[in-house]
Structure 1
Amino acid sequence: MKIFDVAANREADKVTVERQGITYYELMERAGTEVFQWLKRNFPDKETLFHVICGQGNNGGDGLVVARLLYESKYRVVLDILEDAGKPTPDFTANLKRINKDGIKYNNKEIYQYTDGKLVVIDAIFGIGLSRDPEGSVKEMIEKINHSNAYVVSIDVPSGVFMDRKTNFAVHSDAVLTFQQPKLSFYLSDNYQYLKKVEILDIGLDRDFINSVETSYYLTDSFEAHKRYIPVDPFTHKGKQGHALIIGGSYGKIGAVCLAAKSALKSGCGLITTYLPKCGYVVIQTAFPEAMAITDGDEHITHINFDFEPKAIGIGPGMGQHPETQKAFHDFLIRYKHPLVIDADGLNILSYNKEWLELLPVNTILTPHPKELERLMGTWNDDFDKIEKMKAFCKKYHVILVAKDARTMVVYDNEVHINASGNAALATGGSGDTLTGIITGLLAQGYTAADAAVFGVYLHGLTADIALPQTGMQAFTASMIPDYIGKAYHEIEANHP
């Protein structure tokens, strides 16, 4: 799903009005109605008190529509209009006249008390056009919202969150009901405190325009993942499904190779070989009998030599950073020019020897967590700066970055794909090793590097989403991930037959 910037969002509104022969006022009514319907589904109890807080821009106009519809449906509604929150727009003014005509009272001092039992605050103060930090009475109101103990619903954007730069102060929303297309700011780690949940409401913006807009940002949801999915040929055999090689492990860290190898095979590749030190031979043969094993060195890898041609290689999990291992890795990079995934100690070794980045095959996939990414490309000022530096890094070295985080980003060819699946259950040791295995297994099956990265990240996250109701977040471990890969495939296939 495309992620639009402010200009594209505004143009989408303009084109929709022109092509559908409606007014901006009617489009505002449509947006407010969708919010109202969501509120009805989620808060059917008529004893719920809705406190709608509006600015005077178009976001406030959406809020006025919501307040009116709640009032007409006999919900308990109080309405507040902040006169310091922007200048009244024509459509806000038109909706305010309708509020006055219907006799809906607003700006009653008692609504600041927040003492009613079931309270939902509707934040409609600022939208996507915010250009400066909230201040004065508006800032005071946002502080009251954040300390209200109410369930907070923001219309389109949590008020105070900027679309194109770092946010310093904003509404803390329990649910953000955004219109038509997701916003980049929603998925940045700097903004996690402002958003617990995002729901995208379809307000019928012109589909042809949306399809034609060029953007660098995409949200990988179930639909986008399925577009990259390659079903298994019913007449295939293990030789056609690809042979993956996982290189890694050292004394005390053989588990990383086991996790990666098992995940690679569970992703669908036909054969899996592990390349690891001799201390891991019995471990891998016992823990994962489907894997073949090649050994080198006693407690760490000293050379990397094999006499077959794997379709893809994943290297780094548990590998360690012994000088002999580093030399073996360097020599391997000089020789090998085929699909490659690098993780963990492979990334750390590259960060110590940045000149080796020039040796990487085109479209090598690097899967760093935040500290590994920082070691590779340096620090950043905020999330927007981070994204620009990742784009520049990928362009310079012709690689694909899988920047692991609560919302993992896959960056390549000046594009940023933000993953929508997964949850905090994945914040556990070994989770990254399983991701390396999944992506390597997909590469071995013939997925392009970009598709393997984007689809692999989504598949990996989906395992935790499926497992969560059964395991809870705290008890979920990385060794469970391979067991849920099949269920994740099943869900992708079932949702998009």
Structure 2
Amino acid sequence: MKIFDTKNIREADKTTITAQQITSYELMERAATEAFLWIKKHFADKETTFHVFCGRGNNGGDGLVIARLLHNDHYAVKVDIIEEAGSPTPDFELALKHLQESGININTDIAYPYEKGKLIYIDALFGIGLNRELPEAVKTVVEKINRSEAYVISIDTPSGLFMDKPTEVAVKSDYVLTFQFPKLAFFLPGNCEFVNKIAVLDIGLDKDFIANTPTHFYYIDRKEIGTRYRPVKPHAHKGTQGHALIIGGSYGKIGAVCLSAKAALKAGCGLVTTYLPKCGYEVMQGYFPEAMALTDGDTHIQKISFDFEPKAIGIGPGIGQHPETQEAILNFLKLQTKPLVIDADALNILAQNKDWLQYLPEHSILTPHPKELERLMGSWHDDFDKLSKMKAFSMEHKLILVAKDAHTMIVSGESVYVNSTGNAALATGGSGDCLTGIITGLLAQGYNPVDAAIFGVYLHGLTADVAIAETSMQAFTASDILQYLGKAYITIENECRQK
């Protein structure tokens, strides 16, 4: 799914109005109706009370239409129009006229029934066009919303959230009902307190405009992932599914390479060989009998040498930073021509020796967490600066970055892909080792590097989404990623069949 900036979204609206021969108010009604239907589906209890906070622009107009539809459907509704929140637009005025005709009370101090879990605040103060700090009077309303115990639904975007610069004050939403496109700002780490969950509502914007308008940002949802999935062919055997090599491990860190190797095989490749120090040989053979094992060094890898040609190589999990290991990695990199998957201490070694980046094969995949990313490319001022630096780093070194975070982003040159799966259950040791194995296993099967990174991150996150229906976030471990990989695949396959 494409992620458009504010300019393109406005152009999409204008094109739709012209192409479909409708008015801007009719488009507003359409969008607000979709939001109303979502709200009605998820809050069917007619004892629920809705308090709608409206600005005076078009986002406030959306709120007024939603309030009218809720009122007409016999929900208890109160509407507050915040005078300091923008200047009235013609569509806002028309929405206000229709609301007044419905008989609903506006800006009254009447008490409404309150029962915890049955009070919903609807935030429609400002939309995506906000480009200045909130007026003090509006900040007071935002603070009231944020201090309340009500469930908060924001329309299109949390009010106060900037689309193209850092945000300090905004509504903290439980759910954002956004129209047609997800917004990049929703997924930036600095905005996590403002956006909990999102629903992207299709409001029928012009399909040709969407298809033909370029963007560098994409949201990887279940529809998008279906175009990248490569089912196993009926005549497949282990020789056609690819051979993955996982290089890693050191004394005390053999578990990392065990997890990574098993993840590679469970991701679907046909064969897995591990390359690890001798202290890990018996551990690997006992933990994961399906893997073959090559060894070097007693407690850490001292050189990397093997006499076969794997389809894909992942390096780094648990490998440590011993000087002999660093020298082994340098010599190994100088001989490589195929894309690698690089993680953990292999990334930290590269960060200490940035001139070694020149030896990485084009389209190699680096999977840093935030601190590893900072060591690799330096610090950043804010999330927007971070994005610019990631794209520049990817282009300069012709690499793919998998920037792990709550919303992992895959950066390939100018293109940025935002993952939609996963939850806080993945915040556990060994999770990254599993991701390295999954991506390596996909590369071994013949996925191109960009697709391997995108599909691997999606699949990895989906294991946690599937799992929390059966276990808690707190009890989830990296080994559970391996346990739920099969169910994650089944989920993807079922969604593909339903298309």
Say whether the fold is shared (TM-score over 0.5).
yes
Provide the residue aligned with 1:161 in structure 2.
161
**Matched residue type, 2:442:** L
Residue type of the alignment partner of 1:249: G
**What SS does the corresponding residue of 1:495 show, helix, strand or coil?**
helix
Shift of 1:212: 1.1
In the alignment, what sits opposite 1:391? 391
* Contact map agreement 1:311 1:339 (CA 8 A) in 2: no
Question: 1:15-45 CA deviation, whole Å, 9 max, x = no partner?
Answer: 1111111100100111111111111111122
Amino acid at match of 1:174: D
State the SS of the aligned residue for 1:44. coil
Which residue is 1:210 aligned to? 210
Across the two proteins, how many residue pairs are aligned to each other? 496
Give distance in 2, aligned partners of 1:372 and 1:421: 22
Alignment of 1:144-183 (within 5 A): 144-183=144-183
Q: Given residue 374 of structure 1, which amino acid in structure 2 is its aligned partner?
A: E
Name 1:315's counterpart in structure 2: 315
Inter-partner Cα distance in structure 2 for 1:454 and 1:258: 23
Which amino acid in the other structure matches residue 407 of structure 2? R
- Aligned-pair CA distance for 1:62: 0.4
Q: How does 1:108-119 map to 2 (within 5 A)?
A: 108-110=108-110, 117=116, 118-119=118-119
CA contact (8 A) 1:63 1:155 kept: yes
Q: 2:435 is matched with which residue?
A: 435
Query: In the alignment, is the contact (CA less than 8 A) between 2:166 and 2:383 conserved in 1?
Result: yes
Alpha carbons 2:243, 2:272 under 8 Å: kept:
yes
Which residue in 2 is equivalent to 1:36? 36
Equivalent residue letter for 2:296: D
In the aligned structure 1, how far is the partner of 2:148 from the partner of 2:251?
53
Aligned positions of 1:88-487 closer than 5 A = 88-110=88-110, 117=116, 118-487=118-487
Distance 1:297 1:71 in 2: 73
Mean Cα displacement is larger for which, 409-418 or 133-142?
133-142
Deviation at 1:114, TM superposition (A): 8.8
Kept in 2: contact 1:410–1:418 (CA 8 A) = yes
- Identify if the C-alpha distance between structure 1 residues 224 and 486 changes in structure 2 by more than 3 Å, giving closer, same or farther: same
% identity of equivalent residues: 64
**1:251-304: per-residue Cα shift (whole Å, max 9, x none)?**
010000100000000111111000000001000011000100110000000000
1:65-84 equivalent positions in 2, closer than 5 A: 65-84=65-84
Give how far 1:100 is off.
2.4
Distance 1:481 1:139 in 2: 42
Aligned-pair CA distance for 1:308 = 0.4
Structure 1 counterpart of 2:172, which letter?
H
1:116 CA displacement: 5.4
Identify if the C-alpha distance between structure 1 residues 332 and 219 changes in structure 2 by more than 3 Å, giving closer, same or farther.
Answer: same
The whole-number CA distance in structure 2 between the counterparts of 1:115 and 1:295 is 66
Shift of 1:103: 2.8
Deviations 1:25-80 (CA, angstroms, capped at 9, x unpaired): 10011111111111111112222111111001000000010111111112111111
Q: Give the 3 Å change call, closer, same or farther, for CA 41–100 of structure 1 in structure 2.
A: same
Give the letter aligned to residue 128 of structure 2.
Answer: I
* DSSP 3-state at the match of 1:416: strand
SS at match of 1:490: helix
Contact 1:133 1:168 in 2 (8 A): no
For the residues of structure 2 that align with 1:126 and 1:383, how far apart are their CA atoms? 22
Tell me how far apart the structure 1 counterparts of residues 194 and 223 of structure 2 sit (CA, whole Å).
26
TM-superposed deviation, 1:208: 1.5
> Per the alignment, do residues 217 and 61 of structure 1 end up closer, same or farther by CA in structure 2, a change over 3 Å counting?
same
Output one character per residue of 1:65-101: Cα deviation in whole Å (capped at 9) or x when no partner.
0111111112111111011111101100111122223
Distance 1:60 1:135 in 2: 16
Q: Secondary structure at the match of 1:178?
A: strand
Q: How big is each residue's C-alpha offset from its partner over 1:85-134, in whole Å with a ceiling of 9 and x where there is no partner?
A: 111011001111222233322111346x9955521111000000001121
| Conserved? CA contact 2:277–2:299, under 8 Å | yes
Per-residue CA distance 1:447-494 (angstroms, 9 max, x = gap): 100000000000111111111111210111101211211111111111
| Change in 2 beyond 3 A, CA 1:114/1:157 | farther
**Partner SS, residue 196 of structure 2:** coil
Secondary structure of the 1:402 match is strand
Separation (CA, whole Å) in 2 of partners of 1:114 and 1:305: 73
Deviation at residue 136 of structure 1 after TM alignment: 1.7
Aligned to 2:400, the other structure's residue is in SS state: strand
Q: Distance in 2 between matches of 1:185 and 1:110?
A: 36
Distance in 2, matches of 1:114 and 1:394, equals 55
**Residue matched to 2:56:** 56
- Cα deviation for residue 135 of structure 1 reads 2.2
Aligned to 2:8: 8
Question: What TM-score, normalized by structure 2, do the two folds share?
Answer: 0.98
Residues 63 and 124 in structure 1, CA contact (< 8 A), matched pair in contact too: yes
Q: Which amino acid in 2 is paired with 1:478?
A: A
Q: Does the Cα contact within 8 Å between 1:114 and 1:148 map onto a contact in 2?
A: no
Distance 1:152 1:359 in 2: 50
Task: Give me the TM-score of the superposition, normalised by structure 1.
Answer: 0.98
Which amino acid counterpart does residue 415 of structure 1 have in structure 2? S
User: Any gaps of 5 or more consecutive residues in structure 2?
Assistant: none
Structure-1 separation of matches of 2:183 and 2:292:
45
Runs of 4+ in structure 1 off by over 4 angstroms are 113-117
Counterpart contact for 1:51–1:78, Cα < 8 Å: yes
Residue deviations 1:187-246 (CA, integer Å, cap 9, x gap):
111111011110111111111211111111111111111111111111111111111000
2:433 partner amino acid: D
* Counterpart-to-counterpart distance in 2, 1:73 and 1:442: 50
Residue identity matched to 1:222: R
Is the CA contact (8 Å cut-off) linking 2:85 and 2:135 kept in structure 1?
A: no
Root-mean-square deviation (CA, aligned residues, Å) is 1.1
Q: Tell whether the 8 Å contact from 2:72 to 2:102 is kept in structure 1 after alignment.
A: no
Cα distance between partner residues in 2 of 1:72 and 1:469:
36
